[in-house]
Structure 1
Amino acid sequence: GGVGAPESLPAIPPCLLEQAKRRRLPDRYLADITGTTEEAIRQLRRHLGIHPVYKMVDTCAAEFEAETPYFYSAMEQESEWIANRELRIADLTEGATPPASSPPSLGGGGGAVPSASSPPNLGGVGGATPTPRKKAIVIGSGPIRIGQGIEFDYCSVHSVWALREAGYESVIINNNPETVSTDFDTSDRLYFEPLTPEDVLAVIEREQPEGVILQFGGQTAINLAGPLHRAGVKILGSSFDSIDLAEDRNRFERLLSDLNIPKPPGRAVTSVPAALEVARAIGFPVLVRPSYVLGGRAMEILYSEEELLSYMTYAVEVSPKAPILVDKYVLGKEVEVDLIADGTDCLIPGIMEHIERAGVHSGDSMAVYPPQSLEPAVLDQVVRYAIDLSRALQVKGLMNIQYVVENGQAYILEVNPRASRTIPYLSKITGVPMVKVATQVMLGKTLRELGYTTGVWPTRNLIAVKAPVFSFAKLHRVDISLGPEMKSTGEILGVDTDFSRALYKAMIASGIDVRSGGHLIATIADADKEEALPLVAGFVELGFRVFATAGTARFLQAHGIAATPVKKIKEGHPNMVDLVRDGKVDLILNTLSRNKQTELDAAQTRRASVELGIPCLTSLDTAKALLLALRSHREGVQCLTIDEYVAA
């Protein structure tokens, strides 16, 4: 086997490897079953000349010659790939000989040079056709899914526009046709390719760009930083070491300690005994999650060793190679910052305060800009920590920081060395073109050259509320209760000059359309009853009639609030679900209980509310926001013209 291959390469018969690649078996899979590495398989393919060619998507259905720069890979012989169509046509018309094949330099960063038996010319081109313009590749975020949505596509598109404005030829790699970044006129060339190291490196080798931009494709793109760096690809913006320092839990904790920036106690573990040791040392409840995953997947708040043991089995299945993060759960107020830095200066366009307390994923939480309840001393901490971190990490481009605030102290929860889902909202409300500025910084400009300095951008006379949008009616087996694992499928923005009116607009836009004077079901966990009391009283003042399960009804009645008892499902009929299905309920307030039987009943009620389009709130913070919004509605809601919003 492996005829003609150097001894250092895997001994795989060339014909067998060629058959495997024609069936599109990934290098990673071939490495696993042959006991070698993905890099070794890639080097063997290069040695044997086994590589993809690129076909153009026929957008004219064979009626006319298609000229749209859409490409996809195929393991065939003929390539339809031409980097610069006009230049190549001119060359061929004049009888010029196509440029000789030369060993590709990956991303202009040096990198490994192929052996003498390099892959042959594909489509008459040995790499990208020379053009007068520099070239950069933007990595997209792939298919839209929970945890990584259209907000990242916004970032990719605006980055491409900024590249074009700077005179660069722009190339996008993305595999989702239902996005703006994959429109025919967005970039100079588009590749519909899986966002894996193998497929991305193949395009990079073909295009030979100045560098690759990873910051706008969410966690999917950032996870490519390691493989691309090891292949010698130049990453534009924050370096691989900067990205790894932010993503590697142990390195990041040491950095925080050196900078004297506090974080909730905890650490990364790779075994069940270590997880138990950490949990016992810091005390329950603990917040646990795998590292390097999207949308808070498999993130949970655990209250006992039994729950932790059960969780660890599941988490290892979700992320078998990544450490599990075990942190003390801090029940405080979450704050989020998106910044642009150039390694020296750090611009903070805005700070967003979450309405739901810590424990609800940032993508599922409502947030307000500018903050409405944070003390100046806390805001100073948030800004100081952000500037210190950006300089220590040598951030060039965007970075997202999430904090939790408890007793006047801000703690760092996590840092994302990339764009976040709040970038489009902050750009719109602050007027700072964040993606454009970040892209210019990645290309070598400084913030001062662009007219910005270190610090917080001045706030406008507008208040914006970001609210999540859910698709529970289509996700039949998903419980609607909110927690640390993200479930929302979109977001909206409510804007006004008054906080309560902005809240009301956000509620309406996100589908929570509740009128005063309806019927409310309240089923409140014992731990939440005291906090819920003034909220339920507020809804009664607005004319709501209250139904409540037995325990909640007794508590409300004891405090002077009229409440009609309603049966739980196991207690017979008519029960909570019957009331919902009979159309006798306009709003449900249900906080989560740790009693399993109570939760089974509550889950059925929540599911019935989704099927019938009845708002169901599982967070008291959301209920408080709704109450404030409904009170503002009684005073009337104003809508301004676009010009008035811009002038505010």
Structure 2
Amino acid sequence: MSKFEWVRRVLVLGSGSLKIGECGEFDYSGSQALKALKEEGIETVLVNPNIATIQTDPKMADKVYLVPVVAEFVEKIIDRERPDGILLGFGGQTALNCGFELYRSGVLSKYNVKVLGTSIESINITSNRELFKETMSRNGIPMPRSKAAWSVKDALEAAEDLGYPVIVRVAYNLGGRGGGVAYNAYELDEIVRRGIANSLIGQVLIEEYIGWWKQIEYEVMRDYDDNCITVCNMENMLGMRVHTGDNIVIAPSQTLNNREYHLLRDASIKAVRACGIVGECNVQLALDPTSEKYYVIEINPRLSRSSALASKATGYPIAYMAAKLAIGYTLPELLNRVTNITTACFEPSLDYVVVKVPRWDLSKFEMADRRLRTQMKSVGEVMAIGRCFEEAIQKAVRMLDLGFNGLTIDVSKSSIEVIEHELSNPTDEIIFTIIKALKMGLSVERISRLTWIDPWFIWKLKNIVDIEGKLREIKDLDSVEAIKAIREAKRLGFSDKQIGEIIGLSELEVRG
């Protein structure tokens, strides 16, 4: 049986229909949770109207209700099934919001249903921007200057105190929906009205803008006994100016030194303990690229896109372990079923690079704003693994199914003025824009200043451009220089087809 012997039947809330910010990652996490509970002999009841998922298969849960994940319907299911506990952390923001409504309306106490894992109080602390700010301040954890607002008037007053530009973050929301960056009062008025309408509690946070800072994430696990580990840390290449769902994410981080890594790791663990998280969560931090100054931005008290990425990147079954922790197990008690050697208290260490690149479909909408900002627009993502960043990013570009064999593109129709504008205002084609800029002779330093991307990433992309240039200069394929160039190209992630197109051979000829 489970650690909590009183847990015999558990209600699991899914994320409902597929939408931006809530896609396959929650099917994965929910399926893993159901698997973990079934191993303990616990009866599971799933609420999820999306029939196009693995978790709604009759083999996964004992009972499946294909109804909307809203309090009205879930209350009827609770009345009928009388579960001992409910899991809220495996269905995205939809499940968290539903659980909060059930708590606020007294349904959970009426039927004596216990929230397993992260408590409602902790969910409220992390989701309510004002409470989160107060909790971080009370525990000595730095945050950007900010003020909570419940109306446009409050927001305008806060922005006057903070100074423009400001970023608007919406409480109890997902994917940055309703938020944005305001450079003046007119823009702020529009964003705040939209943000309050999208907030479950009608609250937004007006925060100082630090778009040029690095955006770092840590996936953290914590049990009821306060054992706490970080499973993975990730770096967002495009920094704080772009939502993590639209960012190119690299695991592990590539531009942090050892001191910075541990500084942010300690801050993440401290923040998680301050909020009382049990199970898994994602901590987002901002790091000043010119100093060691950092801020904790937010904590997602649930499984997320980043959790799925971290789990696949490290081989650590995050969702499975989080479900076990929710029913009372501790990290030292659990065996990692992937390694079958280490316990869940063991922090993975990577000797390879994992890159996540988002997939957008903005070209289908003629009037769509293709600029990447703090509101998520991507509809999916790909993940690639390589021995170096260059190899992984080229693999990822091929998997996007956009017709590219890698980062070898034509620049004949580009102009310096247009390229510099696109670098300053990144779109869904930012990675290709950087390659074009390098081919047109812009320096790494110039590109870094325009994009606010760490120079390390630009240098790595320049390595790809440089080796392409060497391949095009090959005259004798049997020469030592040609063999060295092709070997280096393979190390940097060039495919046989990609090399063949450059040197004038077929894919099979290159392979031979």
| Displacement of 1:324 | 1.6
1:46 matched residue in structure 2 = none
**Aligned counterpart for 1:395 among listed residues 248, 264, 277:** 277
Aligned residue pairs total: 438
Distance in 1, Cα, partners of 2:66 & 2:359? 28
Distance in 2, Cα, partners of 1:537 & 1:450? 45
2:412 matched residue in structure 1 = 519
The structure-2 alpha-carbon separation of the partners of 1:318 and 1:251, relative to structure 1 and needing over 3 Å to count, comes to: closer
2:369 matched residue in structure 1 = 479
1:249 matched residue in structure 2 = 129
1:386 matched residue in structure 2 = 268
2:381 matched residue in structure 1 = 491
Letter in 1 for 2:321: V
Letter in 2 for 1:380: H
The structure-2 alpha-carbon separation of the partners of 1:630 and 1:228, relative to structure 1 and needing over 3 Å to count, comes to: farther
Distance in 2, Cα, partners of 1:395 & 1:336? 16
**Aligned counterpart for 2:399 among listed residues 484, 509, 514:** 509
| Displacement of 1:301 | 1.1
Distance in 2, Cα, partners of 1:630 & 1:181? 44
Q: Does 1:359 align with 2:241?
A: yes
Higher RCO, 1 vs 2 (CA within 8 Å, ≥6 residues apart): 2
User: How does the TM-score come out when normalised to structure 2?
Assistant: 0.78
Between 311-320 and 419-428, the greater mean CA deviation after superposition = 311-320
The structure-2 alpha-carbon separation of the partners of 1:527 and 1:275, relative to structure 1 and needing over 3 Å to count, comes to: farther
Letter in 1 for 2:360: F
| Displacement of 1:195 | 0.7
1:329 matched residue in structure 2 = 209
| Displacement of 1:454 | 9.6
**Aligned counterpart for 1:442 among listed residues 320, 326, 331:** 326
Distance in 2, Cα, partners of 1:275 & 1:486? 22
Contact in 2 for aligned 1:133/1:167 (Cα 8 Å): no
| Displacement of 1:194 | 0.6
| Displacement of 1:341 | 0.6
Distance in 2, Cα, partners of 1:175 & 1:538? 43
Distance in 2, Cα, partners of 1:389 & 1:321? 23
Letter in 2 for 1:387: I
1:4 matched residue in structure 2 = none
2:232 matched residue in structure 1 = 350
Q: Report the 3-state secondary structure (helix = DSSP H, G, I; strand = E; otherwise coil) of the residue aligned with 1:483.
A: coil
2:36 matched residue in structure 1 = 162
**Aligned counterpart for 1:260 among listed residues 140, 144, 151:** 140
Letter in 1 for 2:283: I
Distance in 1, Cα, partners of 2:467 & 2:132? 44
| Displacement of 1:621 | 7.4
The structure-2 alpha-carbon separation of the partners of 1:429 and 1:540, relative to structure 1 and needing over 3 Å to count, comes to: closer
Cα displacement string for residues 110-149 of structure 1 (whole angstroms, at most 9, x for unaligned residues):
xxxxxxxxxxxxxxxxxxxxxx992212110010101111
1:277 matched residue in structure 2 = 157
Q: How does 1:367-378 map to 2 (within 5 A)?
A: 367-378=249-260
| Displacement of 1:520 | 4.9
Letter in 2 for 1:338: E
Distance in 2, Cα, partners of 1:630 & 1:494? 20
Cα displacement string for residues 419-447 of structure 1 (whole angstroms, at most 9, x for unaligned residues):
11122221122121111111111111011
**Aligned counterpart for 2:80 among listed residues 199, 206, 210:** 206
Between 319-328 and 393-402, the greater mean CA deviation after superposition = 319-328
Larger of the two Rg values belongs to structure = 1
Distance in 1, Cα, partners of 2:256 & 2:297? 17
Q: Does 1:149 align with 2:23?
A: yes
Of Structure 1 and Structure 2, which has the larger fraction of its residues in helix?
A: 2
2:475 matched residue in structure 1 = none
Q: How does 1:69-148 map to 2 (within 5 A)?
A: 134-148=8-22
Letter in 1 for 2:214: K
Over aligned residues, Cα RMSD in angstroms?
Answer: 3.2
Letter in 1 for 2:128: D
Contact in 2 for aligned 1:334/1:403 (Cα 8 Å): yes
| Displacement of 1:308 | 1.6
Distance in 1, Cα, partners of 2:365 & 2:307? 27
Letter in 2 for 1:488: S
| Displacement of 1:294 | 2.3
| Displacement of 1:391 | 1.9
| Displacement of 1:363 | 0.4
Contact in 2 for aligned 1:378/1:409 (Cα 8 Å): no
Amino-acid identity (%): 31
Letter in 2 for 1:183: D
| Displacement of 1:481 | 1.6
1:584 matched residue in structure 2 = none
Distance in 2, Cα, partners of 1:222 & 1:237? 12
Q: How does 1:416-431 map to 2 (within 5 A)?
A: 416-431=300-315
1:339 matched residue in structure 2 = 220
| Displacement of 1:273 | 2.3
The structure-2 alpha-carbon separation of the partners of 1:285 and 1:632, relative to structure 1 and needing over 3 Å to count, comes to: farther
Contact in 1 for aligned 2:220/2:282 (Cα 8 Å): yes
The structure-2 alpha-carbon separation of the partners of 1:489 and 1:270, relative to structure 1 and needing over 3 Å to count, comes to: same
Letter in 2 for 1:156: G
Q: How does 1:626-637 map to 2 (within 5 A)?
A: 627=462, 629-631=464-466, 635-637=488-490
| Displacement of 1:627 | 4.6
5+ residue gaps, structure 1, are 1-131, 547-555, 560-588, 593-617, 640-648
The structure-2 alpha-carbon separation of the partners of 1:538 and 1:398, relative to structure 1 and needing over 3 Å to count, comes to: closer
| Displacement of 1:182 | 1.6
1:195 matched residue in structure 2 = 69
Q: Report the 3-state secondary structure (helix = DSSP H, G, I; strand = E; otherwise coil) of the residue aligned with 1:137.
A: strand
Between 366-375 and 623-632, the greater mean CA deviation after superposition = 623-632
The structure-2 alpha-carbon separation of the partners of 1:160 and 1:455, relative to structure 1 and needing over 3 Å to count, comes to: closer
2:504 matched residue in structure 1 = none
Q: Report the 3-state secondary structure (helix = DSSP H, G, I; strand = E; otherwise coil) of the residue aligned with 1:395.
A: coil
The structure-2 alpha-carbon separation of the partners of 1:520 and 1:217, relative to structure 1 and needing over 3 Å to count, comes to: farther
**Aligned counterpart for 1:240 among listed residues 115, 120, 125:** 120
| Displacement of 1:525 | 5.7
Letter in 1 for 2:408: R
Distance in 1, Cα, partners of 2:347 & 2:381? 24
Letter in 1 for 2:218: V
